[in-house]
C-alpha cells in the first residue's frame, strides 16, 4: 500500500473516531465544533468553518482557530459559492476563487476553497491563501466528515421528533437518505423504506426478524464481540460490516447505533449507509497503483537490454564503419518500439493474453536471443521446435527474460531450449551465439524448457525467484522472473524451476 493510501486510511479511521464522539452529543453547536476541530486537526485545513441556514441566511456556527479576527458575516442562502453549494447540494473544489464570479463576496486574501453541502442544514467551507491548495482526496475526506456531521445532526433532530411525537419521527426518518431502523432484543421493531431498498426485504419481512439474519455470516461473530465490548444504554456505536441481501448479494455498510427508549423499553436506533461503491473505488485505486508501479518497473527493465544492444552496435559502427552494426541497431530499436507497443496495450487491456496465434517457437527464440546482450554465451536449440499458441510479443519477452537471467547469473554459459515431454530428438546440433541452424522436430504441445550450465539456483531460493523485486545478482533488478511468471499466467501456463543435468538452472513452462 502506498504512503498516500496509508495516510488517507489513517485520516478516515480518525474521522470515524470523531463520528463516535459526535454520536454522544445532544447539542448541534457541539457537533459543529467537533466537525471544525476535525477538519483543522485531522484534515489539516487551517481556515474552515460551518455555516447553517437560518431564516434565509447562511450564519456562521463554528470556525477554525486560524480564521482571521474580522471573520465573515452571514450572507444570503442564495449568494456566492456558499449559497450555490447549499441551494444545489453540490460540492465544489475551486483552485483559484479569484477566477470565479460565484465566489463573491469573499476576502481577497483567499485563493482556493473547498465548499461542501451539509445536507439541508448548511455548508462547510475550507479556504487557503494559496492557489491549488486542495485536491480530490481532500474533497472526498471533507465529504466524509460532513456526512458524519449531517448524520449526527439528523439523529439529534430525529430524537427530538421522537420526544415530540411518533408521527413526526416517522415522517422524518422515512424521508432520510440513510437506512434507519429501531431494534430491541435484537429484532427489528421499525424500519424505513431505505432499509428495504438496502436489504431487498419488505418491511413486513423485516419486522420481528433478528438483525443477525441480515448481517453477513462471516461478520456476525466479529460484530457481536464489538457490541459486547462497547454496548451500553447511553453509548453510541459505530461499525463497518457486510450485509447479505435477500437475493444473496453482499453490500458494505457503515452503521451507527444509539441507545434509546422505545415504547418504554430499552432499544437501539440505527442508521446505515451503503458504502459499497466507495469501497470498490478505493480497491480499484489500490489495484491501479500496484499495476502502475509494476508496469513502470517492467518498462524500465525490459527496455534496457535492447537499448544496450543498440548502443553497443552503434559504437562498433562508428569504430569499424561496418553496415551490419547499423542493421543490428535498427533491429534492437525496432524491438524497443514493439515492446513499448505491447506494454502499452497490456496496460490498457489487462493481464490476459487474448490475442494469441500459432507461433513458431524457434523463430521467437532466436529473435529473443538476438535482442539480449549475451556476451560469449551460446544458444543450443536441441530440436526444430513446433508451434505453440501464444501472444508473439509477450512470448518473446518471456524468452528474453529467461536468457537474460541465465547470462546475468552464469556469464559464459550454454543455454539449451527443448521440450518438457521427453520427446527430444537424439540428434545433436551445433552450438553458437544464436546463428546455428539445426534440424529435427518435436512437438511442444506439453510445453518447453530453458536450461543452462551455470551455477544453478539453490532449492531454498527457487520459490523466491518469481517474487517481484527478488534478485541474487549484484546489478539485477529482480523483475525478470516475475515477468516470466506473469506472462505465463496470462496464457494459462505454469512455470517451475529445477536443476539441469549440468547443475545449472532449468525452467519448465507447461502449456498443456
Quote the DSSP letter at residue 166. Answer: H
Residues 479 and 466: beta-carbon distance below 8 Å: no
In a 13 Å sphere around the CA of 422, the CA atoms on its Cβ side amount to 0
Quick one: fold of 351-512? Heat Shock Protein 90 (3.30.565)
Q: Cα–Cα distance between 329 and 326 in angstroms, integer?
A: 5
Is the peptide bond prior to 105 cis by the omega test (within 30 degrees of 0)?
yes
Q: Looking at the domain that runs over 3-159, which CATH code has it been given?
A: 3.30.450.40
Per-residue pLDDT of the chain (512 residues), as tens digits, is 578 788 888 888 899 899 888 988 888 999 999 999 999 999 999 899 999 999 999 999 999 988 776 556 788 888 888 899 999 999 999 988 777 765 554 556 678 999 999 999 999 999 898 889 999 999 999 999 999 999 999 888 877 766 665 565 566 666 778 888 888 888 898 888 889 889 999 989 999 999 899 999 998 888 888 877 765 544 557 888 899 999 998 999 988 888 888 777 888 888 888 888 888 888 777 766 766 776 666 666 667 677 777 888 888 888 887 877 887 788 778 767 766 655 554 454 445 566 788 988 999 999 999 888 888 889 998 876 788 888 888 898 889 889 988 888 778 889 999 887 644 432 233 333 334 433 333 344 578 999 998 888 877 776 655 554 445 544 444 456 777 887 888 888 888 888 888 888 899 998 87
Quote the DSSP letter at residue 432. Answer: B
Contacts of 405 (CB under 8 A, 6+ apart): 480, 481, 505
- The cell for 268 is 437501539
Q: Cα–Cα distance between 342 and 348 in angstroms, integer?
A: 10
Quick one: fold of 276-350? Helix Hairpins (1.10.287)
Architecture of domain 165-274: 2-Layer Sandwich (3.30)
- The cell for 408 is 546475468
- Break the chain into its structural domains and give their ranges: 3-159, 165-274, 276-350, 351-512
Q: 85: left (phi > 0), else alpha (psi -120 to 50), else beta?
A: alpha
Its pTM stands at: 0.35
- The cell for 501 is 543435468
Quick check: do 165-274 and 276-350 share a fold?
no
Amino acid at each position: 500500500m502506498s504512503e498516500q493510501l496509508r495516510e488517507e486510511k489513517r485520516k478516515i479511521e480518525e474521522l470515524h473516531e470523531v463520528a463516535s464522539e459526535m454520536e454522544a452529543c445532544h447539542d448541534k453547536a457541539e457537533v459543529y465544533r467537533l466537525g471544525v476541530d476535525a477538519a483543522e486537526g485531522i484534515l489539516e485545513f487551517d481556515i474552515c468553518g460551518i455555516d447553517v441556514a437560518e431564516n434565509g441566511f447562511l450564519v456562521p456556527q463554528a470556525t477554525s482557530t486560524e480564521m482571521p479576527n474580522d471573520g465573515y458575516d452571514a450572507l444570503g442562502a442564495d449568494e456566492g459559492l456558499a449559497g450555490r453549494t447549499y441551494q444545489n447540494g453540490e460540492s465544489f473544489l475551486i483552485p483559484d476563487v479569484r477566477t470565479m464570479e460565484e465566489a463573491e463576496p469573499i476576502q481577497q486574501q483567499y485563493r482556493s476553497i473547498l465548499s461542501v453541502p451539509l445536507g439541508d442544514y448548511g455548508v462547510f467551507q475550507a479556504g487557503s491563501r494559496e492557489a491549488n491548495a486542495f485536491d480530490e482526496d481532500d474533497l472526498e475526506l471533507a465529504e466524509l466528515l460532513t456526512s458524519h456531521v449531517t448524520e449526527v445532526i439528523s439523529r439529534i433532530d430525529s430524537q427530538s421528533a421522537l420526544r415530540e411525537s411518533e408521527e413526526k419521527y416517522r415522517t422524518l426518518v422515512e424521508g432520510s437518505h440513510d437506512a434507519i431502523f429501531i431494534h430491541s432484543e435484537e429484532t427489528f421493531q421499525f424500519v424505513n423504506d431505505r432499509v428495504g431498498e438496502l436489504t431487498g426485504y419488505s418491511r413486513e419481512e423485516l419486522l420481528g426478524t433478528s438483525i443477525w439474519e441480515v448481517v453477513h455470516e462471516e461478520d456476525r461473530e466479529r460484530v457481536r464481540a464489538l457490541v459486547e465490548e462497547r454496548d451500553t444504554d447511553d453509548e453510541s456505536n459505530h461499525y463497518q460490516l457486510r450485509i447479505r441481501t435477500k437475493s444473496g448479494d453482499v453490500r458494505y455498510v457503515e452503521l451507527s447505533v444509539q441507545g434509546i427508549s422505545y415504547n418504554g423499553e430499552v432499544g437501539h436506533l440505527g442508521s446505515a449507509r451503503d458504502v459499497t461503491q466507495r469501497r470498490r473505488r478505493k480497491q480499484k485505486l489500490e489495484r491501479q497503483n500496484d499495476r502502475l508501479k509494476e508496469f513502470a518497473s517492467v518498462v524500465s527493465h525490459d527496455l534496457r537490454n535492447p537499448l544496450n544492444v543498440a548502443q553497443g552496435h552503434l559504437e562498433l559502427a562508428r569504430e569499424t564503419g561496418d553496415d551490419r552494426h547499423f542493421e543490428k541497431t535498427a533491429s534492437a530499436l525496432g524491438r524497443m518500439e514493439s515492446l513499448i507497443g505491447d506494454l502499452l496495450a497490456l496496460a490498457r487491456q489487462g493481464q490476459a493474453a487474448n490475442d494469441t496465434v500459432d507461433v513458431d517457437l524457434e523463430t521467437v527464440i532466436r529473435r529473443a536471443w538476438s535482442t539480449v546482450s549475451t556476451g560469449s554465451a551460446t544458444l543450443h536449440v536441441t530440436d526444430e521446435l513446433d508451434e505453440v499458441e501464444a501472444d508473439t510479443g509477450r512470448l518473446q519477452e518471456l524468452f528474453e527474460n529467461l536468457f537474460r537471467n541465465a547470462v546475468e547469473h552464469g556469464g559464459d554459459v550454454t543455454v539449451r531450449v527443448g521440450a518438457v515431454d521427453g520427446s527430444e530428438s537424439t540428434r545433436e546440433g551445433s552450438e553458437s551465439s544464436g546463428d546455428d541452424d539445426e534440424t529435427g522436430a518435436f512437438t511442444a504441445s506439453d510445453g518447453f524448457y530453458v536450461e543452462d550450465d551455470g551455477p544453478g539456483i539453490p532449492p531454498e531460493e527457487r520459490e523466491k525467484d518469481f517474487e517481484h523485486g527478488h534478485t541474487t545478482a549484484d546489478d539485477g533488478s529482480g523483475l525478470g522472473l516475475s515477468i516470466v511468471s506473469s506472462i505465463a499466467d496470462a496464457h494459462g501456463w505454469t512455470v517451475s524451476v529445477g536443476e539441469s543435468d549440468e547443475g545449472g538452472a532449468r525452467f519448465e513452462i507447461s502449456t498443456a
